[in-house]
Amino acid sequence: MIRRIENIEMPMRDGVILRADLYRPEGEEPLPVILLRLPYGKDAFDGEGAGIYNPYYYAEQGYCVVIQDCRGFYHSDGEPDPSGLNDPEDGYDTVEWIAAQPFCDGNIGTFGLSFFGYVQLALAVKQPPHLKCICPFECSAERPPFVNGNGSYAPYHLTWLYNSAEDQVRRLPVSEEEKARIWAEIEKNRPTIMDQVVKIHPWTDMPALNIEGFRYFDEYMESVDGTNDPEYWARIGYPLKPENMPYPVFLCTGWNDHVRDQEMENYRLFQKAQAAAPDPERLRLVIGPWSHGPEMSNVIGKIDYGKETAGSEMGIMGMMLRFFDRWLKGKTDAMKDDSPVVYCTLNEKGWKTAEVWPVPETEYENWYFTSDGNARSSSGTGKLTQECGTSGEGCGNSAGEDTILHDPMDPVPSELPGLFKMNGDFSGIQERQDVLVYTSEPQASDTELTGPVSAEIWFRCDAEDGDLYVRLSDVGPDGSSIRITSGELRLRFRDSKSEAKYVPEGTAGKYRIAMGDISYLLSAGHRIRVDIAGSSFPYADANLGTKEPLGRGANYRTALLHVLHDGEHPSFITLPVIRRS
């Protein structure tokens, strides 16, 4: 029998009251505590709807589970701050308040994903004495969630604010009639949010941000203005340095998770932080086929990766439980049969284990871009080849470059209608004339790609600034082009996400583009494809081609983007290959 005690009041250092629910087994003995802090409403996490965070499962295994609404959300008092400004101190105060309660034996661990993955990192930096381990899934220690790897802005942050607005409207100290008016304005703007982001400049003129009597959306422009501002990052707590988190860490993500690369960054940062005294039990990594969220389904969009890859089937909750048993209950043999790294290879059944990532047997191959000067669209002449001699033969030809026109008012889509945005058949998008496409010959045998992917591209832009978005795809015999991974470059932030350094218009340079990690089986008869565009919306804001500040610019320029690939300027993608006997 599990008891649920609702709306326990927890005072923070400034007197604000946060509220939480406690789940515990029958009895009064003190137990280890697992803490979940979130902004989405603790009531929704009461049972099966919580997925892998079902509090009853862990309570049945001898734990107390505490689920708390973050400051300013649902049952907790105070003003909300979606940037996470208050979460380091609130998290610390919550851990130490719990430790002083009779239901707690002094051992506290945390779990959660995305925003409630971040809040664990935020409180861990403060090093509360009773915190013993953390499980921050699908999040970033390095950068805020609205900042992409190339320093661009993720417009979906506004969608996130809209999705969390209902509770904030409910809390307004105004009449019900006024709440109804505000909510009607929100619903009126909701269907056109992304259209407004593309068409209306500056963004401060967007109707979606100008709803009278509702200041919650002001956070959007604060985050836009802070995208490349180190002082803003520092104020909200980024980067969160793993060397300041002396705890065992369990990390988890999915190959189709849109913050996969950030979680893999976390893994590398924790590896580095623990390098002086490595202990495989203190750093765990699990990578499934999953998308973002607690469901961990084996079906993403229209692709079924096999029932055995579902989180429920592979036993992710059991792995988390053994992690907690080891670090909260002191069961030293709890994890003896678990590997430091557990991952699946997409399109292949079963799971694999490793001591470290990337796996040591990975080799790296360069695949070069070539064309006769017309690689525009999948109907063009762009090819991928491994042949590149020292004098440049095979790397290009007399044409030596391909050119596309970037129009910020008509950006290349990053997603497909009706499907999860990072997954599916992109062959239709690759038919656009503002996309360069390079495709290999069919593979003679199965090819496993496991490890980090990158590209090295010679590029010039006929505007004050420009972007490159590079996608790797698997082209099947039916012509489908399934995304494997992607990466991006914003020219002004090629060296730093916060310090803009503009390149003179038309000046060519060589740029390395990180494209994330993957484990993917490319079947015999399939082809490798790379496509390149000057935008990827709404994954990132469309570059306006000017030096005006992000979101504040009223002007835009179309721009010619040139990818060079002659003997002196070889451009290529580097693939991580596992040789199979």
What is the Cα gyration radius of the chain? Answer: 25
Instruction: Judge whether residue 111 has pLDDT over 80.
Output: yes
pLDDT tens per residue, range 536-561: 999 999 999 999 999 999 999 999 99
pLDDT over 50 (residue 580): yes
Name which of 44-53, 215-224, 252-261, 397-406 the model is least confident about: 397-406
Compute the average pLDDT of residues 32-58. 93
444, with CB counted inside 10 A (0-12, 13-18, 19+), is exposed
Signed CA dihedral, 146, 150, 155, 159: sign only: negative
| SS3 (DSSP) at 352 | strand
Structural domains in the chain? 2-142+239-354 (3.40.50.1820), 156-235 (no CATH), 363-578 (2.60.120.260)
Mean pLDDT lowest among 102-111, 178-187, 296-305, 569-578: 296-305
Report pLDDT for 302.
79
CB atoms within 10 A of CB 408: 23
Residue 278 CB partners (closer than 8 Å, separation 6+): none
Contact yes or no for 540/455 (Cβ under 8 A): no
Three-class SS state of 101 = coil
pLDDT at 48: 80
In this prediction, residue 276 carries a pLDDT of 86
* Phi, psi torsion values for 178, nearest 5 degrees: -70, -40
Give the pLDDT confidence score for residue 422 in this predicted structure.
64
What mean pLDDT do residues 98-105 have? 98
With a cut of 70, say whether residue 399 has pLDDT above it. no
pLDDT of residue 499: 87
pLDDT at 147 over 60: yes
Query: By the 8 A CB rule, do 562 and 458 touch?
Result: no
Residues 235-269 have pLDDT tens digits of 999 999 999 999 999 999 999 999 999 999 999 99
Please report the pLDDT score of residue 390 as a whole number. Answer: 42
Q: For the chain, what is the largest distance between any 2 Cα atoms, rounded to a whole number of angstroms?
A: 80
Mean pLDDT value of segment 397-406: 83
Give mean pLDDT, residues 21-47. Answer: 95
Q: Are 179 and 172 contacting, i.e. CB atoms less than 8 angstroms apart?
A: yes
SS3 of 407-444: the string is CCCCCCECCCCCCCCCCCECCCHHHCCCEEEEECCCCC
Give me the residues paired with residue 157 across strands. none
Q: Where are the beta strands (DSSP E) in 306-433?
A: 341-343, 352-354, 363-370, 383-385, 401-406
Q: At residue 303, does pLDDT exceed 70?
A: yes
Give me the mean pLDDT over the 44-57 stretch. Answer: 90
pLDDT digits (tens, 9 = 90+) for 426-470: 999 999 999 999 999 999 999 999 999 999 999 999 999 999 999
Is 344:562 a contact under the CB 8 Å cutoff? no
The size of the chain, in residues, is 581
Tell me, what's the pLDDT at 483? 94
pLDDT in tens, 467-503: 999 999 999 999 999 999 999 999 999 998 888 999 9
Stronger pLDDT, 5 or 278, i.e. the higher one: 5
Which pair of tokens denotes residue 418? Answer: 């009706």
Concatenated DSSP letters of 164-221: THHHHHHT-SS-HHHHHHHHHHHHHHGGGHHHHHHH-SSGGG-GGG--TT--TTHHHH
Q: What is the pLDDT of residues 167-205, one digit of tens each?
A: 999 999 999 999 999 999 999 999 999 999 999 999 999
In the chain, the percentage of residues whose pLDDT exceeds 90 is: 89
Q: How far apart are CA 399 and CA 171, in angstroms?
A: 63
Q: Residue 242: its pLDDT value, please? A: 94
Q: Give the 3-state secondary structure of residue 534.
A: coil
- Which is nearest to 217 in space by CA: 204, 231, 200? 204
- What's the mean pLDDT in 347-374? 95
Residue with tokens 């699990």: 286
Query: Which of these, 123, 137, 119, lies nearest to 81 by C-alpha position?
Result: 119
pTM higher than 0.75:
yes
User: Over 60: is that where the pLDDT of 389 sits?
Assistant: no
Average pLDDT score over residue span 6-13: 98
Residue 249's pLDDT is what? 98
Six-digit token pair at 196? 């407004």
- Average pLDDT of the chain to the nearest whole number: 94
**Percent of the chain scoring above 70 in pLDDT:** 97
